[in-house]
Amino acid sequence: MRHLPAFFALNGKSVLVAGGTAQAAQRICILLDAGASVTASAPSFDAAFDDLRRRGGIDWRAGWPGAGDIAHATMLFVATGDRARDADLAAVARGARVPVNVTDRPDISDFIMPAVVDRGDVVVGISTGGTSPVLARLVRARIESVLPARLADLAAFAAGFRDSARTLIGDTTARRRFWERVLDGPIGQLVLAGRERTARAAMLRALNRPAASAPPRGAVAIVGAGPGDPDLLTLRALHVLQQADVVLYDELAGRDVLAFARRDAEQIYVGKQKANHSRSQDEINALMATLAGAGKRVVRLKGGDPFVFGRGGEELDYLRRHSIDAMVVPGITAALACGASAGIPLTHRDHASAVTFVTGHLKNGEPAADWQALAKGGQTIVVYMGLSAAPVVRDRLLGAGLARSVPVAIIENGARPDQRVSIGTLGELDGLAKRHAGGGPALMIIGNVAALADAAVIPALAEAS
């Protein structure tokens, strides 16, 4: 983030706009909407200002502003159409410590102007750091299409009950959850539908209900974060993350996914790497129960899917036995994400009618697997967490009768920008695994489908490895 998003209170403040161009006129329109007292200064003004002259509320000055004019302004907008003059005026503003924005010149601006979605008191600003105004407008159009037209009415409705809610619901957490139920529930829908009278009656009933001020009840959501690409996070996972008071996350969850949590949510790392556990599973279970018992909404964020080698079943069982409300939000498991990102279908009518997920974690020096069953043809074998066990996996499958020539793929950091892929045969599995030693999380796909890896992607990735 190169620019700090901020909203200025300009109502009644003196703002100076230097320039008679169409860009300057656009700036003035926005400033007037924000309640600013605008002074427009230029030797001449083009036709874009005709409507503004009829609108009124602008102090017109002939000529370029001087140092004294700039020094008395709250902020300065420059759009003269002359790059040298723009730079000179910006330098004067900086000397007077007046924030300045120069149209299409982020390099000499103190702040930039975002694309704006305006819903009354609800305002969304979209910025690309000045690099692509067109992209900012495209993003604005997407947001415009999903925000309700009466969103400003909902904000005003909430403002009208804010003091009452604060008085009746003293606990901060309980009050926040109350507002979440109102704004994201039936009352909010009534307001957005234009039925404000009905919504007000429902709001009064909700405020006076004893449950509104009751101490908040904690709960745990065991959430699959997918492979770490935030675009592959499910909508339900996003919704739960944004409501969480505490997020317990592991090594595979991905920092980009954590960015979607509430900014004031506490984040606690509880990752478990090979021979390096920050907390034991028993400690994680107890921590979840303690936090939920204190009224917190807890998200246990796991890479992939919680129920596929994620110990989510153990955690859910523990929470149920301790009478903690719990839910599971599935995620895209590594096998699906890695296969898709490398162009490898896990099943295929001509090559594999079944797929088996196997953990590569060694127990007594041996992965727990039925090698004879796995060596049968017409299926795909996906080995999780199996790099260190690659020699054992190879030898057991060969010993069970699987051919050395069977295609295999190793996908590291699947579906992430730093993804690396190696393609070979079962006989080469140990050597392929060594290419990825010390890297990110990796997954092995064994079977004829591995030969179908995307030819346009694999050569470049193999070269990078």
Written as tens digits, the pLDDT of the chain (465 aa) is: 788 888 999 999 999 999 999 999 999 999 999 999 999 999 999 998 988 988 888 999 999 999 999 999 999 999 999 999 999 999 999 999 999 999 989 899 999 888 889 888 899 999 888 788 889 989 999 888 888 889 999 999 999 999 999 999 988 888 988 999 899 888 998 999 899 999 999 999 999 987 777 777 889 999 999 998 889 999 889 988 988 999 999 877 878 899 999 888 999 999 866 555 578 999 999 999 999 999 899 999 999 999 999 999 999 999 999 999 999 999 999 999 999 999 999 999 999 999 999 998 766 667 778 999 999 989 999 999 889 899 999 999 999 999 999 999 999 999 888 899 999 999 999 999 999 988 888 999 999 999 999 765 554 444 444
Q: Domains for the chain: give ranges and CATH numbers.
A: 14-113 (3.40.50.720), 151-213 (1.10.8), 219-332 (3.40.1010.10), 335-464 (3.30.950.10)
Q: Is 282 a catalytic residue?
A: no
Return the DSSP state at 278.
Answer: S
* Active-site hit among 250, 296, 302, 305: 250
Cβ partners under 8 Å of residue 150, min gap 6: 191, 192, 193, 194
State residue 465's pLDDT score: 42
Q: What is d(CA 339, CA 383) in angstroms, rounded to the nearest whole number? A: 12
Provide the 3-class DSSP secondary structure of residue 19: coil
pLDDT at 438: 87
Q: What are the phi and psi torsion angles at 260 (to 5°)?
A: -85, -5
CA distances in angstroms from 212 to 220, 312, 349, 369, listed in the order given: 21, 32, 56, 53
Neighbour tally for 359: CB within 10 Å:
16
* Burial class, 303, CB count within 10 angstroms (exposed 0-12 / middle 13-18 / buried 19+): buried
Choose, from 88, 110, 118, 272, the residue flagged as catalytic. 272
Classified as helix, coil or strand, 150 is coil
Instruction: Report pLDDT for 274.
Output: 58
Return the amino acid letter for 97. R
Active-site residue, 272 included: yes
Eight-class DSSP state of 210:
G
Q: What is the pLDDT of residue 464?
A: 43
